[in-house]
Amino acid sequence: MINCIADFAPEGSECGVGLAVQDKNGRFLFFIPGLRYMATHPPGELFYAGIGGHLEEGEDWLMCAHREAKEEIGTDIDVLSSSVTWYVPHNGLVEQVELSDKPCPFALYDMVHPPGTPRAGGHYHIVIYKARLEGVPGDLELDELQGVIALTTEQVIQSLDNKPTLAELLDDGALLVAGGEHLDRRIRLYPLGTARALAHILSCVNSI
């Protein structure tokens, strides 16, 4: 049973923080990884994921959230406590849990690294917080992040079953809020990590 974050992500396990960030129109913000990731993916495909990353030694969850936001998109965030917490195992069967932690995370995602990656088959425990941007995303390091994209709720949900091109997403209501100048509009995008967890949750509850 999961009663607190420590039950989900025990000391010594691979773990990190993801952020569920929405813009003023309710679209969800995700990063599109940088040039150094291109060689590790099938030609014409690339993932997008939630802002965030691995917990470093000596950090707590909130310290990690703030550091990753500033490093990745050049602005800090306000972490928001969630009234509901969802547990998402790697098979995507979403269930609600009650945690004692404050602020309360929005979700706990037990991700399994996909085949073909350096840690294939290993579990990565992601603690997902709702967050609000304090500033405008920018100062992206092209090798690390090529862009920040805002997707509609429908696009997030539909990502579980297809890999739309960047052009198709933009034509259907998505917005590149930072970077993107070097991205091929024909590239097909799919969710990873926090983005995939949100897709599973939204397919069940349709809004957060």
- pLDDT tens per residue across span 32-58: 999 877 766 778 999 999 999 999 999
pLDDT, tens digit, for every residue of 3-27? 999 999 998 899 999 999 999 999 9
Residue 108 located in a structural domain: yes
Q: Residue 30 is part of which domain span?
A: 12-206
Number of structural domains in the chain: 1
> Is 27 inside any structural domain?
yes
CATH code where residue 147 lies:
3.90.79.10
What distances in angstroms separate CA 16 from CA 59, 135, 158, one per listed residue? 10, 23, 25
The pTM (predicted TM-score) of the whole model is 0.94
Q: Tell me whether residue 48 is in a domain.
A: yes
Residues 162/141, Cβ–Cβ less than 8 Å: no
Cα three-residue angle 71-199-110, rounded to 5 degrees? 70
What's the confidence (pLDDT) of residue 207? Answer: 57
